[in-house]
Structure 1
């Protein structure tokens, strides 16, 4: 399989397209064929060597959208089933999603059913996971007024969507660096 490997910390040039063997499924793990992933700031920090626990060489990537290729849990997952996964040391303690296949712990594989395009779906998991954590911490009431800083960012827009889905009467304002 093809994968982008970081052999030593550096800039974008540290990502080297390499041929690696497909990972073998082991008990408690599922192999996912990668359909897409996003690049997060934490991966940039890791690539630059600012994540002291990460050992190189490493295939980065802390989130993935894909389909089950092979699994040790056939009662839970089926071949071709669409799934997502985020974080859980993916791309840090073990190889991540910057590859054609990624091997994931079964408890970190989340089946999904959606009509979203792959492009839209790929942009969703980490963004909405972060926004949902923020949303939960707000403990909103219908009379609340919310200010979202960086409201035009992916997480800002996701927070707005979650707040309005929860209660459309909540007043929301936002800040941004640029007019849109």
Structure 2
């Protein structure tokens, strides 16, 4: 099968096209004929050698059809999504014509949506849904601040939160992106800054904050929620530097909840992928309740260009790669 293999670590030329053996069926796994897959920042870090683990074939998610499933958990030909479970990290991932994923990290996603649109769903929507409905426990009528809202993850969270009946305040670094957010149902846009809590009208009244900017804004996020309000840290758009001299006694507000989610836990006993309603999310998109179209669609032979666009921060949303039929 054709695959993109990491030839060492480095720039775009580290992504090399090769023919490698197709994965063999194995108990407890599903071999998937890949139709399309999303592009993620994690894969850029893997290519550079900045990730703790990286397999020869990168790619942490995909959509496709079941090619074989020795345990019978999924019928051959079923449309499925797969994500995490070691894909691209400890086992060969989705930058190929086939992949073999653990059964625990595969979910049915039958839909009439084009493969390119289905490929924009798995990683971003599974993670956004879990942060919103599991960690933050959002409810209709609440007000949420989504920091870093024009990232692919942020846009998915905006769609889900608006569709769930919340008032959404979204932050972004550029006023030029306000119009897109408003068209998605955001009630108000704010320019992202580490002192947002001092400028926001609803200081100490916010029900929830989904912070995708990271450690540089986390204390500010905690400062804006009400008593019993919740903050979920789930992204590091502002960099990975830790909070300097963090002292909970002096810096943590009383009576607020701080929670964290990392999608690498999907497929573990506490976080089965089957908990995430990917099928219902696809149905909402197909019914037009919100749009989840990818910002850019690339052919398989354009993966280097997709990585260039991602590295240059030119994506403006979720990018996907589609195999030619």
**TM-score scaled by length of structure 2:** 0.51
Structure 1 stretches lacking a partner, 5+ long: none
Distance 1:12 1:140, change over 3 A: same
Alignment match, 1:8: 8
Q: Deviations over 1:82-136 (max 9, x none)?
A: 0001111111111000000001122222111222211111011111122113213
Pairwise CA distance, 1:162: 1.6
The 1-side partners of 2:156 and 2:123 are apart by 10
Match of 1:94 among 68, 82, 91: 91
1:1-180 alignment runs, 5 A limit: 1-54=1-54, 58-74=56-72, 76-136=73-133, 137-166=135-164, 168=165, 170-178=166-174, 179-180=176-177
Higher Rg of the two aligned structures:
2
Residue 58 of structure 2 contacts residue 92 of structure 2 at CA under 8 Å; is this kept in 1? yes
What is the DSSP-based 3-state SS (H/G/I as helix, E as strand, rest coil) of the residue aligned with 1:98? coil
2-side partners of 1:156 and 1:177: how far apart?
13
CA contact (8 A) 2:78 2:110 kept: no
Tell me, in whole angstroms, the C-alpha distance in 2 between the residues paired with 1:16 and 1:131. Answer: 32
> How far apart in 1 are the matches of 2:130 and 2:35?
26
Deviation at 1:53, TM superposition (A): 3.2
Distance 1:93 1:140 in 2: 34
Secondary structure at the residue paired with 1:103?
strand
Shift of 1:78: 1.5
| Structure 2 alignment gaps of length 5 or more | 178-325
Distance 2:14 2:125 in 1: 29
- Number of aligned positions between the proteins: 175
Cα distance in 1 between the residues matched to 2:172 and 2:16? 35
2:201 is matched with which residue? none
Q: Deviations over 1:32-57 (max 9, x none)?
A: 000011111111111111123336xx
SS of residue paired to 1:175: strand
Higher relative contact order (CA 8 A, sep 6+): 1
